[in-house]
Amino acid sequence: MLFLTYGFTSLVVAGVLARFVFILIPGNSLKTPWGGGSDTPAYVALAQNIVTHREFGYAGQPTAFRPPGYPLLLATFIEIFGARYVAAVRVLQFGEGLVVVLLCASIARQSSGDSAAKATVLIALFLPTLVEMTGEVLTETSATALSAGVVYLLVRHRAERRWLHVAIGSVLVGLGALLRFNLAFLGCFCLWTVIFQQQGRSRWRDAAIVILVPCILISPWTLRNLSVFHRSVVFSTQGGFNALAGVLTPQGRTQPGDTEKIRAAVGWGLPAELETNSSIRSRLPDESEIDRKCQQAAFRAWRETGWSLIPLVLRKLYYFWLSTDQFFWTDALSPIQRDIRRFGVLTYWIVLLLAIPGYFAVRSNRPELASAFLAYFLVVTMLHIPFCMNTRYRVPFIDPVLAILAGVGWSRIAQRIAERPALET
């Protein structure tokens, strides 16, 4: 028992140190050695425009293509830390990553006990998809922390009905929607939870909280959009583009040739020509017009695709749940980047396999919690189907819960292995 205690502690310390080294490697550089190109320049451009007191947009044109949360965070860090702001953001995300680990462990403990919590700590600490994004100057790590926080609060709410859990969870949903537009999907799951997994009048009170609190939090953003876009945009101008990309470039990873497909459909090389402060942006129309034309092109592409939408959706589900986008379609990356990503996918597959017995273990002990996890997976997956689906879209929602279930599965398998010699004797 002493060996197990010290062994666990050593692994935890090693995991924390490894994560810290992971953010030290890129240091203050915007790009990481393992990254293959990303949305970082778009967020940085918005942050720099905020710092220089320009409008929230590109080349003097207002934008609602990206939510304001992360650019505002970067702008704040630029003001505080100056040229070292990138390193400071990585330190923040290092802390957020550890918060995710603690939240996952707490949920596992509530569902299956201390052994499951310890296994979950180790899985969440070392799971590549949860580690890799802490070094990227992107929204994934913060989004994962918010998603894990919402799941934690709803699990607590299942154990003890308190409106405060729902209220704080709703605040996290509102903040999440301002960080990543698709985190608004968490509100749908919260609403399902309080309506279908509660009884009595309190469920309608909690449903009102789930609806009203996020709406209040995002209201300054929506009012700003209604003003600058002359009432033609409420929440986002990204929906049309993502719907179109969901048919033409379903991986959403900007592979070679993807921009040409979008340009052929709408006449613009999105998003590269949109998210820039160069003169290229001035050649494009207002974002509301871009969004409208992308929506029209998306509906047209859906009609033209016809029955081929079925295999298309299946491929998107493979990308989303099996990370095949990161395993097979990585030709644009360097050999070492391809190897790193394939190793990460293989590790993720092991966690996914461990999560299956973990789910059934939770269902035997806490069936209401297992049904909530299953509903969570279904809601998040179904709401993403009309848009792009890939590993990066999945990680903030799914991977923390998979780490929990894998920890439960690991502890259950270890328990049965330990019990077998005793049964045989």
**pLDDT tens for residues 141-181?**
999 999 999 999 999 988 888 899 999 999 999 999 999 99
Six-digit token string for 310: 């079925």
As given in the structure block, the two tokens for residue 212 are 């009203």
d(CA 24, CA 410): 31
d(C-alpha 233, C-alpha 251), whole Å: 26
Q: Give 134's DSSP letter.
A: G
pLDDT at 408: 96
Tens of pLDDT along the chain (425 residues) come to: 444 556 889 999 999 999 999 999 999 999 888 875 579 999 999 999 999 988 899 999 999 999 999 999 999 999 999 999 999 999 999 999 999 999 999 999 999 999 999 999 999 999 999 999 999 999 999 999 999 999 999 999 888 888 999 999 999 999 999 999 999 999 999 999 888 877 777 889 999 999 999 999 999 999 999 999 999 999 999 999 999 999 999 887 777 788 899 999 999 999 999 999 999 999 999 999 999 999 999 999 999 999 999 999 999 999 999 999 888 877 777 888 888 889 999 999 999 999 999 999 999 999 989 999 999 999 999 999 999 999 999 999 999 999 999 999 999 998 888 877 655 55
Structure tokens at 29: 């550089």
Instruction: Give the DSSP H or E segment for 356.
Output: helix 335-365
Structure tokens at 294: 């992308």
Q: Is 302 exposed, middle or buried (0-12, 13-18, 19+ CB in 10 A)?
A: middle
Burial of 237 (0-12, 13-18, 19+ CB in 10 A): buried
CA dist 132 and 127 (Å) reads 9
* CB distance 148 to 155 below 8 Å: no
Is residue 227 within 8 Å of 283, Cβ to Cβ?
no
Instruction: Please answer whether residues 178 and 372 qualify as being in contact, where contact means their C-beta atoms are separated by less than 8 angstroms.
Output: no
323 φ, ψ to 5°? Answer: 60, 30
* Inter-residue contact 372 to 154 (CB < 8 Å): yes
Which of 312, 317, 311, 309 has the alpha carbon at shortest distance from 391? 317
| Token digits of residue 270 | 């999105």
Which H or E element spans position 58?
strand 57-58
**Cβ neighbours, 10 Å, residue 156:** 18
Residue pair 360/424 in contact by the 8 Å Cβ criterion = no
Hunting for tokens 């080294």 — which residue is that? Answer: 21
Q: In the numeric block, which tokens belong to residue 73? A: 């965070």
Contacts 24+ apart (CB under 8 A), 300-304: 301/244, 301/247, 301/248, 301/265, 302/247
Q: Percentage of residues in the chain with pLDDT exceeding 90?
A: 80
Beta strands in 53-194 (DSSP E): 57-58, 61-62
Residue-level pLDDT at 3: 43
Which is nearest to 405 in space by CA: 335, 355, 367?
Answer: 355
Q: How many CA atoms lie within 13 A of 84 on its CB side?
A: 6
The rounded distance, in Å, linking the Cα atoms of 96 and 80 is 19
Which residues, in sequence order, are CB contacts of 36 under 8 Å at separation 6+? 330, 332, 333, 337
- Which amino acid belongs to residue 341? R
